[in-house]
Amino acid sequence: MTAEGTIASITEAPGKSGFRAVTDAISRSRLRGIRPGVALSWAFIATLAVASLAPSLLAPGDPLEVDPTRTFIAPGAAHWFGTDESGSDVYTRIVHGAGASLVIGITATVIGLLIGIAVGLTAGLGNRLVEASIMRVLDVTLAVPELLLALVVIGIIGGGTINAILAIGAGGVAYYARIVRAQTHKVRSATYVEAARTLGFSRSKVVFRHVLPNAIKPVLILATIGIGGAIGAGASLSFLGLGTPRPRPSGVRCSRSAATSSRTHPG
């Protein structure tokens, strides 16, 4: 907060004594300057970026290194998070897996978003029959929980990284499509769209130049939040053994073997 802002908030607090108002204003401006939550988030994003672009900076070891003499070492100075059943360093694997998780999260969201926008736009601009049938199909997919939907997709097309991305993307389609459709309804009767039509622009030009850009804003915001969910879903699938297969490190994949090995090697 600027000095003017501080002064303004002092003068705006007539009920308080001068001293109280000043300390309040200072503490408020301090909080606004370095909010701990925001600072933490940025630190985390920075770490994540380094981990995905140059993982060796954070974890110089080899994530694929296997050493049967060092299996199940408890967390300590040499191995921050311990080692897993094949003697690989868990911390190194997690750092090297971060990029893969991020890629899964972002690609799955983008795929879901693109299909969702196409479907939502078709529903919002199509005739009643088209719209009604699309919306009922979306209702059906909404009735199946996302993770279950992803499992169904994998059950039909098989596992693996690419199929996992498709499966997670499929879960987001219905949400994005519904919002795009609602927005399209709002936009299509707007005066600027009418004006463009009156000016004799072709249908596709009106749709892509005027309707689409104005209809996708809320869904883009939702999609940025959705990336986190998609990373979580990717991690869940990996946890179930249906995502990235073993030799390649994938973020939290390690935790499943951790759960089993904690049972066999307690303490």
Partner 1 sequence: MFALRRIGLRLLLGVAVLWGAATLTFVAVFIIPGDTALLILGGPDARPTQEAIAQVRADYLLDQPFIVQYFHYLGNLLQGDLGQSYRLRIPVAEAIGQQLPSTAALAGFAALLAITLTVAVALASAQRRPWIRAIVSSAEVFLASVPSFVVGFALLILFAFTWKLLPSSGTAGFPSLILPAATLALILFGPLSQVLRNELEEVLEQPFVLTARARGLSDFAVRIRHALRHAAIPTVTMSGFIVGGLLGGSVITETLFSRQGIGGLMLASVYNKDLPVILGVVLLSAAVYVVVNLLVDLLYTSIDPRVVTA
Query: What is the separation, in whole angstroms, between the first and last Cα of the chain?
Result: 51
144, 182, 212, 222: which one binds partner 1 (CB under 8 A): 144
Is residue 232 within the footprint of partner 1 (CB under 8 A)?
yes
Is residue 76 within the footprint of partner 1 (CB under 8 A)?
no
71, 141, 214, 261: which one binds partner 1 (CB under 8 A): 141
Which is it for the CA torsion 230, 166, 111, 245, positive or negative? Answer: positive
- Using CA atoms, how far apart are residues 27 and 23, in angstroms rounded to an integer? 6
Site string for partner 1, 31-60 (x = CB under 8 A): ------x-----------------------
- Using CA atoms, how far apart are residues 135 and 64, in angstroms rounded to an integer? 47
CB 79, CB 89: distance < 8 Å? yes
Is residue 128 within the footprint of partner 1 (CB under 8 A)?
no
Query: Which of helix, strand or coil describes residue 245?
Result: coil
- Report the alpha-carbon angle 72-76-82, nearest 5: 30
Return the residue matching tokens 């933490």.
Answer: 40
Is residue 263 within the footprint of partner 1 (CB under 8 A)?
yes
Helical (H) or strand (E) element with 167: helix 161-188
Is residue 154 within the footprint of partner 1 (CB under 8 A)?
yes
- Using CA atoms, how far apart are residues 74 and 71, in angstroms rounded to an integer? 9
Is residue 236 within the footprint of partner 1 (CB under 8 A)?
yes
Is residue 139 within the footprint of partner 1 (CB under 8 A)?
yes
Site string for partner 1, 83-122 (x = CB under 8 A): ----------------------------------------
Which residues share a beta bridge with 89?
A: 83
Nearer CB in complex with partner 1: 21/230: 230
17, 60, 136, 204: which one binds partner 1 (CB under 8 A): 136
Q: How far is the CB of 251 from partner 1 (least distance, A)?
A: 10
Return the residue matching tokens 């408020």.
Answer: 28
- Residues in touch with partner 1 (CB under 8 A): 37, 136-137, 139-141, 143-148, 151-152, 154-158, 228, 232-233, 235-236, 239-242, 252, 255-256, 258-259, 262-263, 266-267
